[in-house]
Amino acid sequence: MSSLGVGGALLRKRARRPVGILSATTAKTKTKKKHFVQQKVKVFRASDPLISVFMWGVNHSVNELIQVPVPVMLLPDDFKANSKIKVTNHLFNRENLPSHFKFKDYCPQVFRNLRERFGIDDQDFQASLTRSSPYCESEGHDGRFLLSYDKTLVIKEISSEDVADMHNILSHYHQHIVKCHGNTLLPQFLGMYRLSVDNEDSYIMVMRNMFSHRLTVHRKYDLKGSLVSREASDKEKIKELPTLKDMDFLNKSQKVYVDEEQKKNFMEKLKRDVDFLVQLKLMDYSLLLGIHEVFRAEQEEEEDLEEDHTENESSPHMNVGSYGTSPEGIAGYLNSHKPLGPGEFEPIIDVYAIKSSDSILFCLENGSAWMKVRRSTRCLSVNIYEVYEQQVP
């Protein structure tokens, strides 16, 4: 039996027998009505059509890219290239995708190379973004901020100006990542896309999540190395997880204790990254610091287990560290290893994490507009507050 593709369906057709041996039964078969079978396609269900288009586009883009041989080296044209597709979605999946949409993948070979240098497999990247719908973490004047379902990737809505700025620095950024072998505190840019739905364009940047996909962040600081207007507002402080600033860090007499080797590695990365930003005359960046308190997490874990036991005594207890993982996607790496206990993390996934004496630190050199190139020749000098070596009793 052969199958013939027609639009959004498969037309099944019986193979013909030789004319000389046709029977009455065969004659009846010839006049049988054609049978249409629903096309088997991957369905991208999301409450927002734009997210469905994003998931469809990433899936299509990665599938296409896998068919293309990896180039020996990137050429200048790769930093200007793009791949785009226009879809008229008539006959299938109409309840999940808009009737018409366009998807554009910027510099696909460059971002593929960056993903490889950051240790992210294309199929894991694809699974983390498409296996289940991303969910909205926050929404503000700068656009939406979403997380992949396994919490390993950040999907940020950006402007067309941000896309242009990214094109201006992408070759320099790639060169920096090559030189430091992907060992950086800068954001890990993994993909940039344009979605066109109902004649409106939306732009998306995908980055690695700096915070852990399984360890809760209990305190968060945005540090610029300045004391001028660097205290969180009262409105900010009442939030469940406020973003505190430099004065809050000092007023709390906050100290960060790490061992000597971690301090050395951290300061080397920080200096190297800041030198790179200074060379490009980039400003308005800061050090984002997240703190996971191990003792507090253990208490929260015990409380959760007690609540679960009260609600259903017969339900099996979940192994510590097993939540937030998936058989597919970036976080799926943990499935082939032993479960992680309180305060433990996997450096291959939580690349920004640093183990402290009683907490886990997540450090990222970040900024709402750090990509923007400034014409000013004066650059921001970042002074990082003292990082103390851990004292061994």
What is the amino acid identity at position 13?
K
What is the amino acid identity at position 172?
H
The active-site residue out of 198, 201, 275, 284 is 284
Tell me the three state secondary structure of residue 123. Answer: helix
- C-alpha closest to that of 337 among 214, 184, 208, 187: 214
| Cα 388 from Cα 384, distance rounded (Å) | 12
142 tagged catalytic: no
Tokens of residue 140, six digits: 């503000």
CB burial readout 116-150, b (16+ within 10 A) else e: ebbebeeebbbbbbbbbbbeeeeeeeebbebbbbb
Residue listed under structure tokens 């041996």: 21
Residue listed under structure tokens 């586009």: 57
Instruction: Count CB atoms within 10 A of the CB of residue 160.
Output: 11
| Residue partners of 262: CB distance under 8 A and separation at least 6 | 354, 355
Residue listed under structure tokens 């937030």: 324
Alpha-carbon distances of 114 from 120, 171, 209, 382, rounded to whole Å: 9, 11, 15, 26
Alpha-carbon distances of 202 from 157, 163, 338, rounded to whole Å: 7, 11, 41
- C-alpha closest to that of 108 among 141, 139, 64: 64
Q: Largest alpha-carbon pair distance within the chain?
A: 96
For CA atoms 190, 145, 187, 128, the dihedral sign is negative
Q: Give the strand pairing for 2-6 and 189-197.
A: unpaired
Element housing 175 (H / E): helix 160-179
The active-site residue out of 84, 102, 156, 372 is 156
Alpha-carbon distances of 387 from 206, 208, 266, 272, 392, rounded to whole Å: 30, 25, 9, 17, 16
Determine phi and psi for 52, rounding to 5 degrees.
-60, -40
284 tagged catalytic: yes
Determine phi and psi for 5, rounding to 5 degrees.
-75, 130
- C-alpha closest to that of 202 among 306, 66, 52: 52
Query: Which residues participate in catalysis according to the annotation?
Result: 156, 284
